[in-house]
Amino acid sequence: MITTQPLSPNFGVELDRKLMLVDLSDADVEALKLNIARAGVLVARDQVMTADAQAQFAARLGELFPSAKPNQTTPEGLIRIKADERSKGAPGTTWHSDVSSDARPPSISMLRMEVVPPVGGDTLFMDMRQIFASFSPSLQSLLKGLTARHDPIGHYLYLSGQKALHELASAHHPIVRQIPETGDQALYVNEGFTRGIDGLPQAEQDMLLNFLLKTIRENVIAQLRVKWQPDTVVFWDNRIVQHHAVFDYFPHKRLGYRATVRGEVPVAAA
């Protein structure tokens, strides 16, 4: 049985520390997925597992995106996340939803940390359901009728050098998407990938998109902050939350592995 406790008043939960992910039954995994869809973020502490075990567990969540630059030390389906004393920056340091430029962008991401700095290196999460709900009914109605273009400029395959930008397609998604499992409605534009709004003059695109991204950047109530510890696993639902990796720990090392589950074609909110 999946038991959790809240991380904030409105979204995010932490898994009971007695529950080990690798021991979950198929029914428990389905319950875990539903918990992630409802909470947006689920933190699991004290999860001792290898990279191989993580890849095997992640595959139980659904179809995985391919690895970047596969090698003998990183199992297929995992992406290594690393920064150390040689790093000038770290990936994910803007508000974004993973790989939203894909035709079937991610649902669940699963990040497990093996090495964390003595302090810092937190990840911030933003609930896009709360952001959308904060808008007036008139603005909500307008946004529901629009789609946006997501370019692969922030795609991990491009950033890693595995693919050239022209090899990766852009996608057009509803600005407000509805989540099939819960019926929740969430704003779906992000600073990492969204580059335009379809069907509007350029000036109106820029004005509206800048307003939406500014609202996301400046919101505090819809945020939560996850502090990493070794053997911590964090799941998040890219359909309803965005995240921001804080690079404040130079020159210390941070090392982990992420698996990303392919979601459905985004469904426009009714």
- The pLDDT of residue 152 is 85
- The pLDDT of residue 158 is 61
State phi, psi for 93 to the nearest 5 degrees. Answer: -95, 25
- The pLDDT of residue 156 is 75
Prior bond of 251 cis (ω within 30°): yes
Tell me what the mean pLDDT of segment 194-212 comes to: 98
pTM across the whole model: 0.95
Give every CB contact of residue 85 below 8 A, 6+ residues apart in sequence: 250, 251, 252, 253
- Predicted confidence (pLDDT) per residue in 24-66, tens digit: 999 999 999 999 999 999 999 999 999 999 999 999 999 999 8
Domains and CATH numbers, the chain: 4-262 (3.60.130.10)
- Predicted confidence (pLDDT) per residue in 233-243, tens digit: 999 999 999 99
- The pLDDT of residue 159 is 64
Tell the residue number behind the tokens 């004005």, with chain if given: 207
- Predicted confidence (pLDDT) per residue in 138-187, tens digit: 999 999 999 999 998 877 776 677 777 767 789 999 999 999 999 999 99
State phi, psi for 73 to the nearest 5 degrees. Answer: -100, -15
Burial of 23 (0-12, 13-18, 19+ CB in 10 A): exposed
228 close to 43: Cβ distance less than 8 angstroms: no
CA distance 270 to 258: 32
